[in-house]
């Protein structure tokens, strides 16, 4: 063997010993996100946000001196893949915590898994069942669906709307919203005259809109999180040009407004303040981090608009790293630290966790927004 080969061999052996030792100095954070596939509009911005934040925090020296090693798995919104990756991340990579998944169906598939294996799970999915009943290790960062519904109902009361039609998509998000609407309607004096569930890949909803309009409703709520929500409002405007249309907080990406064009004007929906960060008052505690997130994201990923979906991943990551900073890299202590976190300013709102509340947001996390001339603006009270 030549001298070079021997040297190379020696170095490789040395590296093999050092590498594990170096690895011990990182904190592994796993993420199961629907980067491609039917929920890519959720997972892709979430993945990009996490990558941006991890790179950023590592450049500043990591958390408590340890770098964050981010492992992102693309589940393509498939629950069996989510389960497989969850087991992989927990048993093989021995991650400290898992961020995600992007959809409620996947989260429910791995909720018990995370709980039984005592792994922290910070979900970016919105369903209420993720945190009710409370599982000790499972948290979620998106706002509660019921709070979004309550804000919509309060707005409807101001507009004297009492008879509504509901259109929702057949995804976990749509189903959860529909349930909350039907459950909370009676106590807010709202009557749901007709409720239709459409396919998430629907390309034309004229027939559904016709059915809802024919029931003589005073307002329409459309609850979905995929591109079909733009189609829905286009069709609604074509069929009946003046009925008030409300959307869910799944409308939180300007590309849906662009897709709906002129039909988006006047749509009312609750959303996180990220979308109107510029017009917030300077006294608002969220304003500075919203603007810095928006600037950093749009600078790094040129041509892409920031969305509230990426914001959920932002919140999950920042909550996790803050807890690690406070309590050190110990899972139990971090779990307790998250549970005791109060007043955490995130993109989704100001979080106040507790042992019973693993979401930490209430209805004030939402701002009622509307669309004017193709831009998001705060709805005048």
Partner 1 sequence: MTDTPCCVPEWRLIELFFQYLVAGLTYGTIYAIVGIGFNIIYNTTGIINFAQGEFVMLGGMTAVTLHAFLPLPLAILGAVLITMAVGGLIEIVFIRWLVKPSVLRMIIITIGISILVREAALMLWGEGVRSLPYFTGNEISALSFGGVRVSPQVLWSLGVCAIVVVLLNLFFKFTMLGREMRACATNRDAATLCGIPTRNMITLSFVLSAGIGALAGCVVSPITQTQYAIGSGLAIKGFTVAILGGLGNSMAAVAAGFILGILESFSIWVMPTAYKDAISISILLAMLFLRPSGLFGNREAFKLKDF
Partner 2 sequence: MRTGRHLHILILLAAVVAVQLLTLAAVKGFYLTQLTMTAYYTLIIAGLCLLMGYAGQISLGHAGFFAIGGYTSAVLTTVDLSAYKGSALAGILMQLSFLTSRQDLYGGQMLSLHPWAACFVAILLTVIIAYAIGIPVLKLKGHYLAMATLGFGTIIYSVVLGTQKFGAADGISSVPAFPLLPGLTVSGAPGLRIQNYYIAWGLVAAAMLLLLNLIDSRVGRALRSIHGAEDAASAMGVDTARYKLNTFVLSAAFAAVAGVFLTHFNGGIGPSEASIMKSVRYVAIVAVGGMASLWGTLIMSAVLNFLSLRGYFGSFDDAVFGGILIVIMLFSPEGILQFDVKAMAKKLLRKRKGA
Binding site for partner 2 (CB under 8 A): 35-36, 73-74, 76-81, 83-85, 87-88, 91-92, 104-105, 108-109, 111-113, 115-117, 127, 129, 133, 170-172, 174-175, 197
Q: According to the binding rule CB under 8 A, does residue 76 interact with partner 1?
A: no
Alpha-carbon gap, residue 139 to 122, rounded angstroms: 5
Q: Which of 38, 117, 336, 350 touches partner 1 by CB under 8 A?
A: 38
Alpha-carbon gap, residue 287 to 180, rounded angstroms: 30
Alpha-carbon distances of 103 from 106, 233, 247, 274, rounded to whole Å? 6, 23, 19, 21
Minimum Å gap between C-beta 83 and partner 2 is: 5
Q: Which H or E run contains 316?
A: helix 308-327
Q: Which of 127, 190, 217, 324 touches partner 1 by CB under 8 A?
A: 217
Closer Cβ to partner 2, 96 or 376, answer by number: 96
Q: Which of 201, 330, 340, 364 touches partner 1 by CB under 8 A?
A: 201
Q: Among 188, 124, 127, which Cα is nearest to 162's?
A: 188
Alpha-carbon gap, residue 143 to 126, rounded angstroms: 7
Q: Where are the beta strands (DSSP E) in 34-137?
A: 67-74, 97-99, 120-123
Residue 284 touches which of partner 2, partner 1, none (CB < 5 to 8 A by kind)? none
370 CB-side CA count, 13 A: 15
Burial of 223 (0-12, 13-18, 19+ CB in 10 A): buried
Q: According to the binding rule CB under 8 A, does residue 300 interact with partner 1?
A: no
Closer Cβ to partner 2, 177 or 219, answer by number: 177
Minimum Å gap between C-beta 300 and partner 1 is: 15
Minimum Å gap between C-beta 157 and partner 2 is: 29
Beta-carbon neighbour count of residue 141 at 10 Å?
Answer: 27
Closer Cβ to partner 1, 69 or 106, answer by number: 106
Residues in touch with partner 1 (CB under 8 A) = 36, 38, 40-41, 44, 159-161, 163, 170, 196-199, 201, 203-204, 206-208, 210-211, 213-214, 216-219, 227, 230-231, 234, 237-244, 255, 259-264
């Amino acid at each position: 063997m030549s001298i070079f080969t021997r040297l190379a061999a020696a170095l490789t052996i040395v590296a093999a010993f050092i590498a594990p030792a170096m690895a011990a100095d990182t904190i592994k954070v796993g993420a199961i996100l629907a980067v491609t596939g039917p929920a890519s509009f959720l997972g892709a911005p979430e993945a990009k946000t996490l990558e941006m934040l991890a790179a950023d925090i590592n450049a500043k020296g990591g958390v408590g001196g340890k770098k964050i090693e981010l492992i992102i798995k693309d589940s393509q919104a498939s629950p069996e893949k989510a389960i497989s990756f969850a087991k992989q991340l927990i048993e093989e990579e021995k991650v400290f915590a898992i961020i995600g998944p992007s959809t409620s169906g996947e989260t429910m598939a791995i909720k018990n898994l995370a709980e039984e294996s005592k792994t922290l799970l910070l979900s970016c999915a919105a369903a209420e069942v993720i945190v009710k009943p409370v599982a000790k290790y499972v948290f979620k960062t998106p706002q509660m669906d019921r709070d979004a519904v309550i804000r919509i109902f309060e707005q409807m009361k101001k507009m004297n709307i009492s008879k509504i039609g509901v259109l929702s998509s057949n995804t976990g998000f749509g189903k959860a919203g529909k349930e909350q609407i039907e459950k909370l309607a009676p106590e807010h004096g709202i009557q749901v005259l007709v409720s239709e569930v459409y396919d998430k890949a629907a390309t034309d909803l004229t027939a559904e809109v016709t059915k809802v309009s024919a029931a003589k409703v005073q307002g329409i709520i459309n609850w979905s999180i995929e591109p079909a929500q733009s189609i829905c409002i286009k069709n609604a405007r074509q069929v009946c040009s003046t009925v008030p249309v409300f959307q869910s907080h799944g409308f939180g990406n300007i590309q849906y407004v662009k897709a709906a064009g002129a039909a988006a004007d006047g749509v009312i929906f609750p959303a996180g303040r990220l979308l109107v960060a510029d017009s917030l008052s300077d006294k608002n505690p969220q304003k500075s981090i919203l603007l810095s997130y928006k600037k950093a994201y749009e600078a790094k990923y040129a041509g892409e608009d920031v969305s509230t979906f990426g914001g959920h991943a932002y919140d999950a990551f920042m909550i996790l790293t803050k807890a690690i900073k406070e309590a050190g890299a110990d899972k139990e202590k971090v779990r307790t630290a998250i549970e005791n976190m109060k007043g955490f300013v995130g993109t989704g709102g100001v979080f106040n966790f507790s042992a019973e509340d693993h979401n930490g947001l209430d209805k004030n996390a939402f701002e009622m927004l509307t669309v004017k001339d193709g831009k998001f603006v705060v709805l005048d009270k």
